[in-house]
């Protein structure tokens, strides 16, 4: 097995620790930490590997592991102090990098926004869940989102000029359509240092400014509430299974559906007409 195929084996948060029954707690802890140390080191998550080796040194180690753990905790010191950046979960609300071992669980350590994971790769998806202001029904919210806002065309940002001996393509900075004038982005701000999670609550005017393409809605049957997610990277597409409402990077989802003819999570057959 190549090292790269192990990538999803180190999910962020604490979920990796949910083992089955172990004969002894100590043995279980040792096995978990030992595996975590080895895998995170192999993947380049050196900070996490250091942490695991430090914890291991506080445990009683059976003789057969002794040499390997001693060698590991010695040689890890020759590695960088940080984890490889691609492995570190990024919060799309506040743009902070999160530690691989997160005491708070699957939420951002900075703004406490819960992460939304892909159900196939377990990568953090570029989505932020938001809530409707008091008094807005789901039907109204959907109709407001569906009102397509006139977006500035991408092409119009580039001004092409032709002269006798030169062809110039100029980027017009004043026509920024994705930047600071998005009312939703303004809603993402939060109070620094607060220990409470402050959800993103949107008003009618913010809903009106959203494009249908950037919003995913989990339409749960009553009495459950619908859940709304806004994509923060409109160019990277996310697919939601219409049956289990799990979300995936569209590329992953399409490949898996082609391979198995069903949703990779709930196994709903692609030809099944029911939702
Ligand atoms: Zn955050
Ligand atoms: Zn599904």
pLDDT digits (tens, 9 = 90+) for 100-136: 888 888 899 888 899 999 999 888 999 999 999 999 9
Q: How do residues 238-258 score in pLDDT, each as one tens digit?
A: 999 988 999 999 999 999 999
Of 1-5, 145-149, 221-225, the poorest mean pLDDT is in 1-5
* Structure-token pair, residue 275: 């939702």
- Cα(42) to centroid of ligand 1, in Å? 27
CA distance 124 to 75: 31
Element housing 156 (H / E): none
- Cα(235) to centroid of ligand 2, in Å? 23
Query: What pTM was computed for the model?
Result: 0.71
Per-residue pLDDT, 227? 94
Element housing 239 (H / E): strand 238-240
- Cα(215) to centroid of ligand 2, in Å? 18
- Give residue 266's Cα distance to chain centre: 20
Per-residue pLDDT, 65? 86
- Cα(264) to centroid of ligand 2, in Å? 7
Q: Where are the alpha helices (DSSP H) in the chain?
A: 25-43, 46-57, 63-75, 138-146, 183-187, 204-209, 250-260
Per-residue pLDDT, 183? 84
Q: How do residues 162-219 score in pLDDT, each as one tens digit?
A: 667 776 666 655 444 444 578 888 888 876 666 788 889 998 988 988 888 889 999 9
Ligand nearest to the CA of 218: 2
**Cis peptide before 223, with omega less than 30 degrees from 0?**
yes
- Percent of the chain residues past pLDDT 70, beyond the cut: 78
Ligand nearest to the CA of 244: 2
- Cα(241) to centroid of ligand 2, in Å? 5
- Cα(227) to centroid of ligand 1, in Å? 19
Per-residue pLDDT, 166? 72
Among 73, 77, 107, 81, CA closest to 93? 107
Q: Burial of 183 by CB count in 10 Å (0-12 exposed, 13-18 middle, 19+ buried)? A: middle
Task: Please determine, for residue 260, whether its predicted confidence score (pLDDT) is greater than 80.
Answer: yes
Per-residue pLDDT, 174? 47
- Cα(244) to centroid of ligand 2, in Å? 4
Ligand nearest to the CA of 267: 2
Mean pLDDT of 52-62: 88
Q: How many CB atoms lie within 10 A of CB 11?
A: 15
Q: How do residues 62-96 score in pLDDT, each as one tens digit?
A: 888 889 999 999 999 999 888 888 888 999 988 88
- Cα(198) to centroid of ligand 1, in Å? 11
Per-residue pLDDT, 153? 47
Per-residue pLDDT, 34? 92
Per-residue pLDDT, 209? 87
Per-residue pLDDT, 5? 40
Three-state secondary-structure class, residue 214: helix
- Cα(255) to centroid of ligand 2, in Å? 14
Pairwise pLDDT comparison (13 vs 150), residue with the higher score: 150
Among 200, 181, 180, 182, CA closest to 190? 200
- Give residue 89's Cα distance to chain centre: 7
- Cα dist from 96 to 36, 163, 181, whole Å: 23, 46, 21
Ligand nearest to the CA of 264: 2
Mean pLDDT of 40-51: 92
- Cα(125) to centroid of ligand 1, in Å? 13
Mean pLDDT of 9-27: 51
Give the dihedral sign, CA 116/232/243/248: negative
- Cα(123) to centroid of ligand 2, in Å? 17
* Structure-token pair, residue 230: 């806004």
Pairwise pLDDT comparison (28 vs 238), residue with the higher score: 238
- Determine contact, residues 116/247, Cβ cutoff 8 Å: yes
Per-residue pLDDT, 23? 56
- Cα(216) to centroid of ligand 2, in Å? 15
- Cα(268) to centroid of ligand 2, in Å? 6
Ligand nearest to the CA of 119: 2
Alpha carbons within 13 angstroms on the beta-carbon side of residue 44 total 8
The CA-CA-CA angle for residues 252, 113, 210, to 5°, reads 70
- Cα(250) to centroid of ligand 1, in Å? 24
Per-residue pLDDT, 10? 44
If pLDDT is split at 50, 70 and 90, which confidence band does 220 have?
A: very high
* Structure-token pair, residue 141: 């919210």
């Amino acid at each position: 097995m190549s090292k790269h195929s192990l990538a999803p084996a180190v999910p962020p948060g604490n979920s990796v620790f949910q083992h089955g029954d172990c004969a002894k707690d100590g043995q279980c802890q040792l096995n978990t930490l030992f595996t975590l140390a080895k895998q995170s080191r192999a993947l380049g998550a050196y900070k996490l590997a250091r942490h695991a080796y430090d914890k291991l040194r506080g445990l009683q180690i059976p003789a057969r592991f002794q040499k390997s753990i001693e060698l590991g905790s010695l040689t890890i010191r020759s590695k960088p102090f940080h984890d490889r950046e691609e492995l570190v979960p990024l919060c799309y609300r506040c743009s902070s990098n999160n530690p691989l071992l997160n005491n708070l669980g699957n939420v951002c350590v900075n703004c406490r926004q819960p992460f939304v994971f892909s159900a196939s790769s377990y990568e953090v998806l570029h989505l932020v869940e938001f809530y409707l202001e008091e008094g807005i029904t789901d039907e109204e919210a959907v109709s407001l989102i569906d009102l397509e806002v006139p977006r500035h065309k991408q092409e119009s940002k580039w001004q092409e000029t032709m002269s006798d001996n030169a062809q110039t393509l100029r980027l017009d900075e004043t026509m920024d359509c994705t930047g600071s004038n998005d009312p939703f982005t303004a809603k993402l701000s939060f109070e620094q240092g607060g220990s409470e999670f402050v959800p993103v609550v949107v008003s009618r005017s913010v809903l009106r400014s959203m494009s249908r393409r950037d919003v995913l809605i989990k339409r749960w049957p009553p009495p459950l509430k619908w859940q709304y997610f806004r994509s923060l990277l409109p160019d990277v597409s996310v697919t939601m299974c219409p049956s289990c409402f799990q979300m995936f990077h569209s590329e992953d989802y399409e490949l898996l559906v082609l391979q198995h003819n069903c949703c990779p999570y709930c196994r709903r057959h692609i030809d099944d007409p029911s939702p």
